[in-house]
Chain A
Amino acid sequence: MTARSTTTAHSIVEATPRAKTIAGTLVILYAVISILPLLWIAATAFKSQSDAIAYPPKVIFQPTLEGYVNLFTVRTRQTPDFIASLPPAATWYDKLVRQHDMVIAGPSKVVPRFINSLIIGFGSTFLAVFLGTLAAYAFSRFKIPLADDLLFFILSTRMMPPVAVAIPIYLMYRQLNLTDTRLGMILLYTAVNVSLAVWLLKGFIDEIPREYEEAALVDGYTRLQALRKVVLPQAVTGIAATAIFCLIFSWNEYAFAVLLTSGEAQTMPPFIPFIIGEGGQDWPAVAAATTLFVVPIVLFTILLRKHLLRGITFGAVRK
């Protein structure tokens, strides 16, 4: 009888301690396995060239910053005699490079690419969130004819395959001299992000009770004042979450970037696979670039975890 009553006390609603332990073990096992590839990349960034391609793959190794140095520099191979004739290495990274009979010839393109990613990411995010907030407010508060159709149209632009969209954009940008420019990429990413921004922000603004604004209007605020002083302060969390989603999209985007940029406006994702050393991909440098590129995303994911569900379903599922 006692056994029966314990099972009833721990129905599916509240799992038994044993069921919890089993579930926990399985989930943790999955989490650890699924995070291993990322940890491997982070570790590879600290390997030397030879450790990175060692067989069997090395788990324990002497960490070095070679990968990071290689990522940020362009090097030339020199004879040991020539290197011996040089004045002593001025910095730790000069020293590191010379150990491999190389001399630093200059900075690599990684910093300009990183800056492109930042400018295009923040530029398109700002524009998308600005336009999205206005449109979302209008959709949320006013009667707009064919509102549902307009909202579906806005969402449907996001459904198009990027490669297909890139064909006419490529032709159009060639005419407008926007190919391989930051402005061109900002406009394109804004157009992609604005659909997400409208849908997400409409959800957030819908949740703010209309009574606050109405009270403000009664007290003599104009609509715009009410929006600025009453609605926006309440929507700050939602706007921030939306902005992070837009930023992540622009940061991660590859198809448009690889098809429409080649140099000036190239962002990190099409650049990283082409970090090459002598004879093929320079894995420690690629891993270093990947790590630097992924760390902000990991931080943002942790920040966003409460809003993730909303973001990935265009606000359809809320929690």
Chain B
Amino acid sequence: MTTIIHPDQLARAPEAKSSSAWRGRGLSDRAIAWLFVAPTIALLLAINIFPLIWMIRLSFTSLNLSMSYLPLRFVGLDNFQDILTDEDVWARLQTTARFVICSVALQVIVGFGLALLINRRFRGHSFWTTIILLPMMLSPAVVGNFWTLLFQPQIGPFNYLVSLFTGVPPSSFSMTGEVALAPWTIVLVDTWMWAPYVMLICLAGLRSIPDYIYEAAEVDRASPWRQFWSITLPMTVPFLMLAVLFRAIENFKMFDMVNLLTSGGPGSTTELVSITLKRAAFEKWRTGYSSALAIILFVTVFGAANIYVKALNRVKQR
């Protein structure tokens, strides 16, 4: 963007006075600063922090909204104890961890691979990059919903294509209905959606490497393999880290796509911890218990967010 300020425009400034006079007029900078920041902070306090404090209070109670006529009873740390000693909750956390690790790992492999290929700058690469980016801009809920059509055992094109290539009858397996397949199904759809995200960030990393480093390596007769390991990879790692941390946090919170694709099933094979939380809070109405679980998740995400921001600052400094 070029500058739009024209000298005439500045000259037409109202009542142009001596250069020191402007400080006296209007609001002071300090007042403006606070006036400008306050509404945002106030909104976040009202919509995020006040409810959060309320929820911390509730986490020490046995409140159940389906029995809200009961008097509010404080139970101390009972809810936290129940959650942390509940094998089911740990199983859901493990399911979530497996989902996060597998999907992020796949996204890194696919995304980084694509970024390396796109960085070759073949003809039309920017058009195809935009096409590849489309899935990540879609609504995860709508994505989860339409993949259920694609995965229909009888009529879905996915099973049909698999049977075309492998000869397995298309109605003999169900991607969303089988214990062995469903965890991979959510990983597959998540990767379809978010590998482009990793790709885009890695591409920025690759493009940040100045050409002269490769030229110097070329002069030193470094093999392409050697150049990749000692230049390309190390210089892209900070960007990759950023992508990994962001995806890990997002996938830890994952609710929408999986809720519509498998709704946690079959059984509880794809029940991520957000889905457990939704069931406890909005189906069983165990508000006290689910508040405690929500706080445990908060603390986890917050810890991760801290690391994220530190990594983010490190990338920014480059």
Contact = CB atoms under 8 A, between A and B. Distances in A.
A38 interface: yes
The contact size tier of chain B is: 35 or more
Count chain A CB atoms within 10 A of each CB in B17, B39, B304 and give the residue with the most: B39
B139 interface: yes
Interface string A214-226: 0111111111110
Q: How large is the interface on A (under 10, 10 to 19, 20 to 34, 35 or more residues)?
A: 35 or more
A27 interface: yes
A309 interface: yes
A34 B135 CA distance: 8
Contacts of B118: 23, 27
Contact of B302 (A21, A26, A55, A156): A156
Interface stretch (A66-74, A93-101, A297-305): A297-305
A99 B149 CA distance: 26
A195 B41 CA distance: 10
B22 A24 contact: no
Given A34-B132, A57-B156, A220-B22, A27 B125 contact: yes
A152 B305 CA distance: 9
A13 B157 contact: no
Interface string B181-200: 00000000000100011001
B141 A297 contact: no
A interface, by DSSP: helix, strand, loop or mixed? Answer: helix
Contacts of A308: 133, 200
Interface in A208-249: 212, 215-225, 229-230, 233-234, 237, 248
B39 to A, nearest CB: 5
Contact of B124 (A24, A198, A273): A24
A165 interface: yes
Contacts of A56: 160, 170
A65 interface: no
Given A13-B211, A162-B253, A187 B47 contact: yes
Contact of B149 (A11, A190, A252, A283): A283
Contacts of B22: 217-218, 220-222
B67 interface: no
B227 interface: yes
| Of B54, B133, B207, B298, most A-chain CB atoms within 10 Å | B133
Given A27-B122, A28-B128, A161-B301, A252 B140 contact: yes
Contacts of B117: 23, 26-27
A317 B302 CA distance: 22
A165 B51 contact: yes
29 contacts: A12-B224, A23-B122, A27-B128, A30-B114, A30-B132, A34-B135, A41-B149, A56-B160, A56-B170, A131-B39, A134-B39, A135-B36, A135-B37, A142-B30, A142-B32, A161-B253, A163-B255, A163-B281, A163-B294, A216-B10, A253-B139, A254-B142, A258-B141, A290-B142, A290-B145, A294-B139, A313-B312, A316-B315, A317-B204
Interface of A: 8, 11-13, 15, 19-21, 23-24, 26-28, 30-31, 34-35, 37-38, 40-41, 44, 52-57, 131-132, 134-135, 137-139, 142-144, 150, 152-157, 159-172, 187-188, 190-191, 194-195, 198, 212, 215-225, 229-230, 233-234, 237, 248, 251-255, 258-259, 269-270, 272-273, 281, 283, 286-287, 290, 293-294, 297-298, 300-302, 305, 308-309, 312-314, 316-317, 319
Given A34-B135, A144-B37, 17 more contacts: A31-B131, A161-B274, A164-B298, A167-B281, A167-B291, A223-B27, A254-B260, A259-B282, A269-B256, A281-B149, A287-B149, A290-B145, A293-B142, A305-B133, A313-B242, A316-B312, A317-B242
- Closest CB pairs A-B (n = 6): A168-B51, A254-B141, A24-B122, A222-B26, A164-B294, A252-B139
Interface of B: 1, 3-5, 9-11, 13-17, 19, 21-22, 25-27, 29-30, 32-37, 39-41, 43-44, 46-48, 50-52, 54-55, 58, 114, 117-118, 120-126, 128-142, 145-147, 149-150, 154-157, 160, 170, 192, 196-197, 200-201, 204, 207, 211, 214-215, 218, 224, 227, 232, 239, 242, 246, 249, 252-253, 255-256, 259-260, 274, 277-278, 281-282, 287, 290-291, 293-295, 297-298, 301-302, 304-305, 308-309, 312, 315-316
